[in-house]
Amino acid sequence: MQADTTSFVLLWQVAASLARLAALGQLGWMKPSRPRRAVLYVPASNEKALAKATTLACDAVIIDLEDAVAPVAKEEARERMRAFLREVDRSGREWIVRINQLSGEGGTEDFLAARGAVPDAILLPKVNGPADIRIAEEALEQTDAPERLALWAMVETPRGMIELPALAADSRRPFARLACLVAGTNDLVKETGLKPGPGRANLVPWLLQMVLAARAGGLDVLDGVSNDFRDLDAFSAECRQGAELGFDGKTLIHPAQIEAALSTFSPSPEEVAEAETIVATFAAPGNAEKGVIQIDGRMVERLHLAQAERLLARSKGRNKA
């Protein structure tokens, strides 16, 4: 009798946990998709650029407290970020704050200021593995940070590259806050001595590892910046390369780069139409229970449905002209 009751309680607990996980999945909690095609860095110390960012068409803005801010300007930049996020209308795009390394100078102050400002995400620089994410996550839990406050991670150190598989595995935990990887190509080049070569040929193997890790971890992944903001032809080519490698978008340093990134990382009208057909066909009466269907003589499986739904969620009505 006693054994029966214990088994029942255990079974009940397992069923409740599974139902909770399933509900989280259905609510889209696990990996909500937002368009992150054009993501612009703005130094927190630059008041004029911060004001301008509110008028630009980028999908997200990263307010930078790290590399773009001189050591003497750090404190003022932190205050400016705080005041700016208090006042700004946040609708229409994501706002992310990049802090200095938690273990380095000013990192804790940055983290607390960013936590207080509740941006959409805090971007951690020079992430060397899952432990760095866990420390930040723990600090967010201890301060009762809302669930929607995500973490993003810069992949820009040799150690961070080596630890990518562990980072991906760790981000599959329920309630993990890590949502997006950001390629820090300038730092990677500096740290390794690699010469990127024409068309970034020598960087491509590392970029692909980032994309692979992001997919394994259910994360978004953004390509690194292009420093030459006057050569827009070269920039467009680099955007196309990033899109072909599988990146969701590109990080930018200048407003002139926004348009090319938006258009390159948006699905074409044909891709949107195809995705809509797949979604509509699976939803048609009689197909709801099917695992595989045919559309115009082509086999379409549920994995294509998931892909189509992801594409539509990201296109947000803004497609390639």
Which positions lie near ligand COA, rule CB under 6 A?
Answer: 40-43, 48-49, 52-53, 64, 67-68, 225, 253-255
Closer CB to ligand COA, 70 or 292, in the complex: 70
Amino acid at 316: K
For CA atoms 121, 263, 211, 293, the dihedral sign is positive
Pick from Mg ion, ligand COA, none: which does 64 bind, CB < 5 to 8 A by kind?
A: ligand COA
Give the residue at shortest CB distance from Mg ion: 187
Pick from ligand COA, Mg ion, none: which does 225 bind, CB < 5 to 8 A by kind?
A: ligand COA
Pick out residues in 182-241 that bind Mg ion (CB under 5 A): 184, 187
Q: Work out how close the CB of 177 gets to Mg ion at its nearest, in angstroms, rounded to a whole number.
A: 21
Pick from Mg ion, ligand COA, none: which does 68 bind, CB < 5 to 8 A by kind?
A: ligand COA
Q: Work out how close the CB of 123 gets to Mg ion at its nearest, in angstroms, rounded to a whole number.
A: 10
Pick from Mg ion, ligand COA, none: which does 43 bind, CB < 5 to 8 A by kind?
A: ligand COA
Q: Work out how close the CB of 59 gets to ligand COA at its nearest, in angstroms, rounded to a whole number.
A: 14
Pick from Mg ion, ligand COA, none: which does 254 bind, CB < 5 to 8 A by kind?
A: ligand COA
Q: Are 257 and 232 in contact (CB under 8 A)?
A: yes
Strands 121-124 vs 94-98: parallel, antiparallel or unpaired: parallel
Pick from Mg ion, ligand COA, none: which does 184 bind, CB < 5 to 8 A by kind?
A: Mg ion
Closer CB to ligand COA, 53 or 133, in the complex: 53
Pick from ligand COA, Mg ion, none: which does 150 bind, CB < 5 to 8 A by kind?
A: none
Closer CB to Mg ion, 127 or 260, in the complex: 127
Q: Work out how close the CB of 260 gets to Mg ion at its nearest, in angstroms, rounded to a whole number.
A: 23
Alpha carbon distance 315, 308 (integer Å)? 11
Alpha carbon distance 102, 69 (integer Å)? 16
Q: Considering the rule CB under 5 A, would residue 160 count as an interface residue with Mg ion?
A: no
Closer CB to ligand COA, 35 or 255, in the complex: 255
Strands 150-155 vs 121-124: parallel, antiparallel or unpaired: parallel
Pick from Mg ion, ligand COA, none: which does 94 bind, CB < 5 to 8 A by kind?
A: none
Q: Work out how close the CB of 87 gets to ligand COA at its nearest, in angstroms, rounded to a whole number.
A: 17
Q: Work out how close the CB of 188 gets to ligand COA at its nearest, in angstroms, rounded to a whole number.
A: 12
From the centroid of its chain, how far is CA 301? 27
Q: Are 85 and 110 in contact (CB under 8 A)?
A: no
Give 94's strand partners: 60
Closer CB to Mg ion, 184 or 249, in the complex: 184
Closer CB to ligand COA, 6 or 186, in the complex: 186
Residues forming contacts to Mg ion in the complex (CB under 5 A) are 156, 184, 187
